[in-house]
Structure 1
Amino acid sequence: MNPTVLLPHGCHIGTDKACHFSVWAPLKKEVILHIVSPEERLIPMERSNEGYFQVTVEDCPPAARYYFNPDRAGDLPDPASHFQPEGVHGPSAVVDHTTFEWSDSGWENPGLQDLILYELHVGTFTEAGTFDAIIPRLEDLLATGINAIEIMPVAQFSGNRNWGYDGVFPYAVQDSYGGPEGLKRLVNACHRLGIAVILDVVYNHLGPEGNRLPQFGPYFTDAYKTPWGDAINFDGPWSDGVRDYFASNAIHWFHHYHIDGLRLDAIHAIFDNGAVHILQRINEAADQYAQQTEKSVHMIAESDLNAPRVIQNFKAGGYGFDAQWLDDFHHALFVALYPEGKDRYEDFGTVEQLAKAYTDGFVYSGEYTKARKRKYGASSAGIPGFKFVAFIQNHDQVGNHKNGERLSVQLPDSHLRIAAAALLLAPYIPMLFMGEEYGEERPFLYFTSHSDEQLVELVREGRKEEFGHWLGEEDPPDPQAESTFRACVLDWSKRTQGKHRHLLAWHRRLIHLRRSHVALQNFNKTGTQVDVLSEHAWALLRQDETEKSQLLALFNLSDQPLPHTLPQNTTWICLLDSTVPDPEGGHTVNPDSLTLPPASVLVFASTT
């Protein structure tokens, strides 16, 4: 089935096995299709009223390589190329999406409230750094309780080392990772094991090296600015084709690669003053696709707005996302665990803020912030918890910290256990960053492999400027050096060793508890209560809708024992004790004589 919302961009092989080429170039008089292999051919394309140039080639074999030549100014890769086997500067390749043998016809995408997300970077997840190399590790993730992986961007970027946010071909799958076939094999394998796949996509800018879109049409605008590159033209003259290009891109991943959801990067840097915001347009296209195919998809936003409209429906004036990242939860918990983090998150640092993050969502919901020098945010109280993705580590929070340090090298094991419990018992969709589950100690640094020496130097200087406040005279690791990249590859052997094995077991128990305890299935905010016990301790109470099932977690971050009295007239069973390396749990506790050990979390369930 070819959904009607899939718009004509790039090259598609139809059921007739002919190659249908289409490119949007509204200001060009002519475009020539230049097939360079296996046999060179020059074919004029026909212009339509909407600014598209199209042509059908009956005898063009799969994997044929080609360029477009607009107004005879020179050969350029297809801006909607599905594969760049020779990198960003080489020809595009025809991809036949009709030949892959999918085995996931019975696959059903889990609901948002059931997800345990796991963010990973393809290049550093394994030594090989490919899609295929991930597949043998999937069963380890499944055994941990992970049922959804969130893959950092795979759109073609320059070189073979990059975080992925410098992609310049939004439709193409990175060649060094394994290209289109590799991604399909990974998704197929995930679905076979019951694991969903969320893909990170970037619709706020394109990378610098190999970015040829301006040579085809007015894809960018000077009306707005982003921190990373030219803003995309979503509301200016000729923006209709740009809007179609990106709305179609979302469907591209669902239709051709069976992706289960998208995480849109930094939507606060997507600017559109039109009547229908491009984010609404993209989400409407996703909804239409889901209705036509009867396959659910999840649309998740990264947003720096603290604005409920991101996840409100269209009728309420919202963008229509299913969920959004909850940075405030991270900031509040991170600074509570690691007080030095206040240097980076100066507006956070109290347990009361963490309590609000649990019960409301946004900590800043209209209050003044020092960092922004203005009032910020709106209230998210009452919005169900499954509309938010919470985390204590991710690629940004680790990679943009000095020297790419993870929590595992900043905190003792006792605090890592507290962090895991604080996240996995929260009323939100939890997300782990690759290696977090066993305390990976290798860093996650920023790395590139550009071929443009001037760009390389600009990136180096930019990182030095960004980290000058934290590093002093010390330069950050060179992003361009291969050693920087290699230092970030996970050490999988640690999962079975010593403290790492115990931390992994702790995560498994927490995830199992999250899935098995009825109180943790309630995402209604009224079912979550937090009591501040001291400046370093808090009690988290989760209840089901009837308030008959209760789960109580007591957190003590101080280095002193803390006496505490449990709620009376209830029998409490201790399920988890972080001070025991390999806890059995299940023992009854006297509610009148409880003392929280230093740097600990105890988890109880009521039996009434």
Structure 2
Amino acid sequence: MKNPQIDKRSLGVNFEGQGIANVTLWAPLAKKVDLLIGKDKLKLPLHSAEYGYWELTTDKLKPNDTYSFLLDDEKERPDPASLAQPDGVHGASQALDLNGFKWTDSEWSNPKLNDYIFYELHIGTFTPEGTFEAAIGRLDHLVELGITAIEIMPVAQFPGERNWGYDGVLPYAVQNTYGGAEGLMRLVDTCHAKGLAVVLDVVYNHLGPEGNYFNDFGAYFTDKYHTPWGNAINFDDAWCDAVRLYYIENALMWFRDFHIDGLRMDAVHAIKDFSPVHILKEIKQHVDQLIAHTGRQYHLIAELDLNDPVYINTLDNNGYGIDGQWIDEFHHALRVTAGEPQTGYYSDFNGIEHLAKSYKDAYVYDGIYSPHRLKVFGTRADKNTGDQFVVFSQNHDQVGNRMLGERTSQLVNFEMQKLMAAAVMVSPYMPMLFMGEEWGETNPFQYFISHTDKDLIEAVRKGRKEEFKAFHAEGETPDPQAEETFKRSKLQWDLLSKQKHKTMFAYYQELIKVRKRYPALKYLKRSDLRVEFDAKDNTLLLNRWHEDEQICCAMNFSKQQQNIQLPGGQDWAILLNSADEKWGGQAPETNPGIVQPESIIIYINHHV
């Protein structure tokens, strides 16, 4: 069995100096493998090694040369561990020497997760140009906002020029239309110079359909399990050792070679692995070895809908050791509280009672009966800390998986937008914004692709229409293949010059400042929290404290003014009132506990 390398990649093409390239390919199904170099396709045979690997050491392959592999004199394929695909997923790979980039971030220190304020963005729609270089030009905006970490949707090479990124088929290659490996490195290096951590979304649960040539090389997939995307990636069947190594080294590469600070791992509940050591646990074990090797801190965050803390429990507590996870249930409860219809997966959420439960327990379904699933679901996460959970009022999934891709700004009024933003920011969890929400972006974020296979395009179109049956949405589903769908999803930066959007941005700035400034909000101690709600009035009182500092957040989700009783015997001062005129609201009442419709007041006192 080939073991993962901590200090360098062992797969694909690696340059060792003195003009020497080491080439390693796993292709146990092949009887013969040749390396083809350049347009002239200089042919060099690889040598068979143990466990289905093929190897070659040569001075003929140079940095930036294109190359491919010829399997059994029949199939010419790009390298599964390719770092660059200048001509897309069907073209030749390009050899890169990642050691050539001149980093300037030696003084950078990755913040603790407790200090992360995430900002999720999609490179293709974040700027008009849709590149890493253009994103660099917008980083000062994020610094001014108060963001501490950007989270980039997947950049692994996908078909065409337009894609969310979850159809990637070459996990080691950085999308060529975004700016490739060097463009991503420049973005990360600049982020660090500006005090921003970088989290990268990676997909270890499936590969996209177009340009997926992995079956030609070996048993990357297994028919033991099925996923929404077909056969599962082979993490526990015959030949799985090489597949596990492939993904372990991928995670290590992003941290070590690209200086990424955290990985957000997509839909880990779709990873099928009944090995004695789960693949996520093994990735964590090797990341810990990398931390010891480099002296840098790296974070692993999972998207997970199983409500099972084994994923985020520490290694020494028989967990997989993942540092944190998204909790969609907070989002669902918040949306229903704000008036979203209880359809589809929202049908499991009754609004403010479940929002209060999520503030207190993280998971809403933690061993209680789920009507949507028709079974008891989840288990309690009592021993998990607040900095192990990421919450949000919107993200790429929750916006883009609506039929029309409407953002919150198109679903609720200005006052409710502010209340929902604050509900996230005052939580005892890590908050995340979705790009553009800080100014109330009005463009949708819709699902888009640019496949070349006509049958696949039609299948995606039909799949999108089928997906929205539970929501009973009206109108036509936007064509995911149309370029206009992609263009419609781009941010409108010029909105920041308009008063209403400028006010929203200033409000978000203040919210983030308040969260950072006051220990009762900044420190994510789930034990120092009390929550009360009134289902009839649709109000919620969140009380958090740290030492002698107490903060009370009075939230009114109703359309009428409400009197929310504050804890007695204490003098409460207002830190922020979303209904204040300076935030575009009406002149609020000054009496303690009087909260305007669809608004929040954050109070503070310093009594032991």
Q: Which category describes the TM-score, using the shorter chain as reference length? A: over 0.9
Match of 2:570 in 1: 570
| 3-state SS, counterpart of residue 257 of structure 1 | coil
Against the structure 1 CA distance between its residues 64 and 122, is the aligned structure 2 distance closer, same or farther, given a 3 Å change threshold?
same
The structural deviation recorded for 1:329 is 0.6
The 8 Å contact of residues 382 and 524 in structure 1, kept in 2 or not, is answered as no
Q: Which residue of 1 aligns with 2:549?
A: 549
| Structure 2 SS opposite 1:304 | coil
- The equivalent position to 1:8 in structure 2, one of 10, 16, 31, is 10
The answer to whether the Cα contact below 8 Å between 2:157 and 2:176 also exists between their aligned partners in 1 is yes
Separation in 2, partners of 1:350, 1:451: 43
Q: CA deviation at 1:286?
A: 1.1
Q: What amino acid does structure 1 have at the position aligned with 2:21? A: C
- Are the structure 2 counterparts of residues 339 and 584 from structure 1 closer, same or farther at C-alpha, using a change threshold of 3 Å? closer
Deviation per CA, 1:218-257: give whole Å up to 9, x if none: 0001010111232101000010000000000001111221
Q: Does the Cα contact within 8 Å between 1:552 and 1:605 map onto a contact in 2?
A: yes
Give the letter for the 1:573 counterpart.
A
Mapped to 2, the partners of 1:186 and 1:63 lie a distance apart of 21
Which deviates further from its counterpart, 525-534 or 200-209?
525-534
Matched, 1:130 2:131: yes
Shift of 1:599: 1.6
Please tell me whether the aligned partners of residues 3 and 292 of structure 1 are also in contact (alpha carbons under 8 angstroms): no
State the one-letter code of the partner of 1:596.
V
Is contact 1:11–1:21 with CA below 8 Å preserved after alignment?
Answer: yes
Contact 2:201 2:265 in 1 (8 A): yes
**Counterpart check, 1:114 vs 2:115:** yes
* Correspondence 1:310 to 2:308: no
Q: Partner of 1:81 in structure 2?
A: 82
- Name the amino acid aligned to 2:606: T
- Residue in 1 that maps onto 2:460: 459
Residue 498 (structure 1) shift: 1.7
> In 2, Cα distance between the equivalents of 1:32 and 1:488?
43
**Code of the aligned partner of 1:88:** V
CA distance in 1, matches of 2:122, 2:248: 24
CA distance in 2, matches of 1:579, 1:225: 50
Matched, 1:520 2:521: yes
Give SS of 1:553's match.
strand
Q: Which runs of 5+ in 2 are unaligned?
A: none
Where does residue 149 of structure 1 map in the other structure?
A: 150
Whether the 8 Å CA contact 2:188–2:259 is kept in 1: the answer is: yes
Report how far residue 9 of structure 1 moved: 1.1
TM-score w.r.t. length of structure 2: 0.96
Coordinate RMSD, CA, aligned: 1.9
The aligned amino acid for 2:362 is G
In structure 2, the CA distance between the partners of 1:473 and 1:364, relative to structure 1 (3 Å rule), is: closer
- Secondary structure, in 3 states, of the residue corresponding to 1:75? strand
Correspondence list, 1:266-281, <5 A: 266-281=267-282
The 3 A distance-change label for structure 1 pair 589 and 27 is same
Contact 2:366 2:380 in 1 (8 A): yes
1:441/1:68 CA distance change after superposition, 3 Å: same
Deviations 1:480-504 (A, max 9, x none): 0000000000001112312211111
Deviation string 1:454-505 (CA, Å, 9 cap, x unpaired) is 1001101111111234356633000000000000000011123122111111
- Partner of residue 34, structure 1: 36
Where structure 1 has 5 or more consecutive residues not aligned to the other structure, the ranges are: none
Structure 2: distance between partners of 1:488 and 1:473 = 20
**Pairs aligned (count):** 602
2:139 maps to 1:163: no
1:588–1:407 CA distance, 2 compared to 1 (3 A): closer
- 3-state secondary structure, aligned to 2:77: coil
Secondary structure at 2:540 match in 1? strand
Contact 1:505 1:582 in 2 (8 A): no
**Contact between 1:25 and 1:51, CA under 8 Å: does it hold in 2?**
yes
What is the letter of the counterpart of residue 482 of structure 2?
Answer: A
1:540 aligns with 2:542: yes
Deviates more, 1:239-248 or 1:307-316: 307-316
Aligned 1:366-381 pairs, distance under 5 A: 366-381=367-382
1:583/1:438 CA distance change after superposition, 3 Å = closer
Deviations along 1:496-531, whole A, 9 cap, x unmatched?
312211111111111001111011133221111111
1:54-93 alignment runs, 5 A limit: 54-93=55-94
User: What residue number does 2:579 align with?
Assistant: 579
Query: Per-residue displacement from partner, 1:255-290 (whole Å, max 9, x unpaired)?
Result: 221111100000000001111111111111111111
Q: 1:584 to 1:557 in 2, by over 3 A?
A: closer
Distance 1:571 1:313 in 2: 41
Specify the alignment match of 1:531 in structure 2.
532
1:522/1:543 contact within 8 Å kept: no
- Say whether the 8 Å CA contact 1:12–1:21 is kept in structure 2: yes
Q: What is the CA–CA distance in structure 2 between the aligned matches of 1:168 and 1:115, rounded to whole Å? A: 30
Select between 44-53 and 562-571 the one with higher mean Cα deviation.
Answer: 562-571
**Distance apart, 1:350 and its partner CA:** 2.9
Aligned to 2:290: 289
Q: Is the 8 A contact 1:147 1:194 kept in 2?
A: yes
Residue type at the aligned position of 2:400? G
Aligned residue number for residue 391 of structure 2: 390
For residue 590 of structure 1, report the CA deviation from its aligned partner: 7.7
Secondary structure of 1:340's partner? coil
Distance 1:605 1:104 in 2: 39
2:541 aligned counterpart, secondary structure: strand
Amino acid at match of 2:601: L
With structure 1 as the length reference, what TM-score do the two structures score? 0.96
State, as a whole percentage, how many aligned pairs show the same letter.
46
SS at match of 1:312: coil
- Relative distance call for 1:590 and 1:126 in structure 2 (3 A) is closer
* Alpha-carbon contact 2:6-2:252 (below 8 Å) kept: no
1:325 aligns with 2:351: no
Q: Which residue of 2 aligns with 1:358?
A: 359
Q: Distance in 1 between matches of 2:31 and 2:74?
A: 11
